Amino acid sequence: MMSKILEKGFRTNTFRFKRRAGERGFSMTELIAVMSVMAIMTVISVPYLINYRTPLRTDDQAIKMMDMMREAGQLALTRRRTVRFEIDLTDNSYKIIDEQGTATDTLVKSIPMDKPADVRVDIKPSGVTKPNPPNYTDITFAADTVGHLAGSTSVTGHSVWSARFQRDGSVVNNAGTPVSVNIYVFPPASPGSATPKTLKQVRAITLFGGSEAIRFWKHNGTALVAT
Amino acid at 144: D
pLDDT tens digits in sequence order for the chain, 227 residues long? 545 544 554 454 444 444 455 556 667 787 787 787 887 776 665 554 455 455 688 999 999 999 999 999 999 999 999 999 999 999 999 999 999 876 679 999 999 999 999 999 999 999 999 998 888 999 999 999 888 988 888 899 999 999 999 999 999 998 889 999 999 999 999 999 999 999 999 999 999 998 999 999 999 999 999 99
Structural domain includes residue 118 = yes
Taking the alpha carbons of 184, 185, 189, 194 in that order, is the dihedral positive or negative?
A: positive
88, β-bridge pairs: 93, 160
- The DSSP secondary-structure symbol of 192 reads T
Structural domain includes residue 156 = yes
How many structural domains are present in the chain? 1
Cα 5 → chain centroid: 71
Alpha helices in the chain (DSSP H): 2-21, 28-79
CATH of the domain at 87: 3.55.40.10
CB-based contact 217:206 (threshold 8 Å): yes
Structural domain includes residue 140 = yes
Structural domain includes residue 146 = yes
Structural domain includes residue 20 = no
Task: Enter the pTM of the model.
Answer: 0.74
Query: Cα separation of 182 and 128, whole Å?
Result: 12
Query: Cα separation of 144 and 180, whole Å?
Result: 19
Query: Cα separation of 71 and 199, whole Å?
Result: 29
3 state SS of 21: helix
Structural domain includes residue 70 = yes
Structural domain includes residue 78 = yes
Structural domain includes residue 40 = no
Domain limits for position 137: 58-226
